Amino acid sequence: MAEERTLALVKPDAAEHTRGFIENAKEYGFYIVGQKVVWFTPSDAGIFYLEHKTKSFYTTLCLHMASGPVTAMVLEHPLGETIKRWRMRIADTDPNNAADGTLRHRFGGGRKELHRNVVHGSANPKDAEREIALLFTGLELA
């Protein structure tokens, strides 16, 4: 088992690009140690994004996350720093500011609504642990 894992979510607005996210993760050396499709309710999304509850976009984000399928993946990288490496692949939260070649640029460029930023990556090890535990049991992970 790697030292660090991260949770990656392909959000509903990018569901048709799930294969591209998976291929990109593998191409950049990530191991997918858990994967499934989930359907959030607005309440589920509210629990997942609880740290944003006081922000103006919270309700819109929760409704968006409940609008379609979400592909959840637990990632590891053999060289470590999994969270940092994945966040570099996905780029800036605003797809319109994402660097060329990143996942948010490739699959989310030109979006006007910030909550429709195609992908999620855990911000830090504590968040990764909490988020993974919300969506996966230990038996579902390699």
| Lookup: tokens for 16 | 């048709």
Span 71-119, pLDDT tens digits: 999 999 999 999 999 999 998 777 777 888 889 888 876 665 666 789 9
Mean pLDDT (the chain) is: 91
pLDDT at 59 over 80: yes
Q: Is 115 a catalytic residue?
A: no
Percent of the chain scored above 90 by pLDDT?
A: 77
| Lookup: tokens for 103 | 């996942």
pLDDT at 112: 59
Contact 62, 114 (CB under 8 A): no
- Catalytic position from the list 64, 105, 115, 120: 120
Q: What radius of gyration, in Å, describes the C-alpha atoms of the chain?
A: 14
- Look up tokens 């030109």; give the residue: 110
pLDDT at 117: 82
Are β-strands 119-121 and 70-76 bridged in parallel, bridged antiparallel, or unpaired? Answer: unpaired
Residue whose C-alpha is closest to residue 19's, from 92, 89, 73, 88: 73
pLDDT at 108: 79
- For helices 18-27 and 82-90, the axis angle rounded to 10 degrees is 130
**pTM of the full predicted structure?**
0.92
